[in-house]
Amino acid sequence: MSGQNPPFNRTNWPIAAAMIQYQNILPDGSSVQDQAPEGWAATLADVTDAGFTELDPTDSWIRLADLSPARLETFMGLVRDAGLTIPAISTARRSVIDPERGEEFLAYNHKVIDTAAKIGAKEVSFGLFYPLTDAQKRALWFWTAQGTTSPDDPAVWRLAVERIRELGRHAQEVGVGISLEMYEDTYLGSADSSVRFVEDVDHPSVGINADLGNLVRLHRPVEHWATMMRKVAPYTRYWHVKNYFRTEDETTGLVVTAPAPLEFGVISYRAAIRMALEHGFKSAFLVEHYGGDGLSVSATNREYLRRILPK
């Protein structure tokens, strides 16, 4: 659970905009990493126009940890000028057990922790999921195609545990918490496996990002969201929230899913959040949505959370 400063209530709970709808590579082929400050400011204006006061500079959009000190200070100045704060930094597809780049990503994640501490972010979200496969890139919804699976190898599991524990020690030293994202076919690909993994890591700075949406969207049988949430609630900290419509045909086995606004999908976040609150949850939220105007739907999701969080 988070070390942020309580008490939070529905009016001041940090609810950050995700940046998954913004790509790192711009239409002209250049990178957001090298973008002029005016370009960064224009994107931040989108976020504030949508009513957000918090932002997660998800590293699929911009890698703050890879900016020079001067460029980082410029970016943070723009964030402040926009009236935004950054409660957390999320990473994507930079697994510390990636078979080709695991050590590189471990070093990068250490930089993310230091960057979070430098800018005042209290949490980071790491995952053990891999880059999209070619089939996933071709699919309308990438989760409908099979991605890379973490190996069923006790030695690799131990390596993952050791490297996350190493990151946990670093995070504790600089006052940052780590949230590990639930994601299919990884060592956090189910509630039971997520709990086992975090308990094996056994570090007070490391918890679970209960991103149940990553699992309920799968076109395959999955554990009921409420059962999963009851298992992970004691370990939940910085939390990515999104929802999906899900239809299951018991006569054929057909499963169909599609992104849904937070209050309309199969997960009842009113109930899920209450479960987490019962275990002392006091971290920030990140609101996400895939497809369409994801930022505007995320803003709708933010307002839904404001209505159901404690007064």
Domain contains 3: no
CA distances from 108 to 225, 230, 249, 284 (A): 32, 33, 43, 23
Q: Are the CB atoms for 193 and 180 separated by under 8 Å?
A: no
Pairwise CA distance, residues 143 & 137, whole Å? 10
At 2, give phi and psi (nearest 5°): -75, 155
Q: Which three-class secondary structure state does DSSP give residue 247? A: strand
User: Which tens digit of pLDDT belongs to each residue from 294-306?
Assistant: 999 999 999 999 9
Domains identified in the chain, total number = 1
Predicted confidence at residue 152, as pLDDT, reads 97
CB proximity list for 28: less than 8 A, separation 6 or greater: none
Domain contains 139: yes
Q: What is the CATH number of the domain that holds 299?
A: 3.20.20.150
Q: Which three-class secondary structure state does DSSP give residue 230? A: helix
Name the β-bridge partners of 247: 256
Domain contains 269: yes
Pairwise CA distance, residues 307 & 311, whole Å? 9
Domain contains 19: yes
Domain contains 1: no
User: Which tens digit of pLDDT belongs to each residue from 112-136?
Assistant: 999 999 999 999 999 999 999 999 9
Coarse DSSP helix, strand, coil percentages of the chain, rounded to the nearest 5 percent: 40, 15, 45
Which residue, 178, 188, 100, 194, is CA-closest to 150?
A: 188
pLDDT bracket for residue 7 (50, 70, 90): confident
User: Which tens digit of pLDDT belongs to each residue from 202-217?
Assistant: 999 999 999 999 999 9
* DSSP per residue, 18-80: P-TTS-SB-TTS-BGGG--HHHHHHHHHHHHHTT-SEE---TTT--GGGS-HHHHHHHHHHHH
- Provide the residue range defining the domain that includes 126: 15-308
Other CB atoms within 10 A of residue 34 CB? 10
54-55 vs 15-17, strand pairing mode: parallel
Q: Are the CB atoms for 93 and 109 separated by under 8 Å?
A: no
Q: Which three-class secondary structure state does DSSP give residue 203? A: coil
Average pLDDT across the chain, whole number: 96
Domain contains 2: no
Q: Are the CB atoms for 206 and 198 separated by under 8 Å?
A: yes
Domain contains 34: yes
Domain contains 6: no
Predicted confidence at residue 2, as pLDDT, reads 42
User: Which tens digit of pLDDT belongs to each residue from 221-277?
Assistant: 999 999 999 999 999 999 999 999 999 999 999 999 999 999 999 999 999 999 999
Pairwise CA distance, residues 134 & 299, whole Å? 31
Q: How large a percentage of the chain has pLDDT more than 70?
A: 98
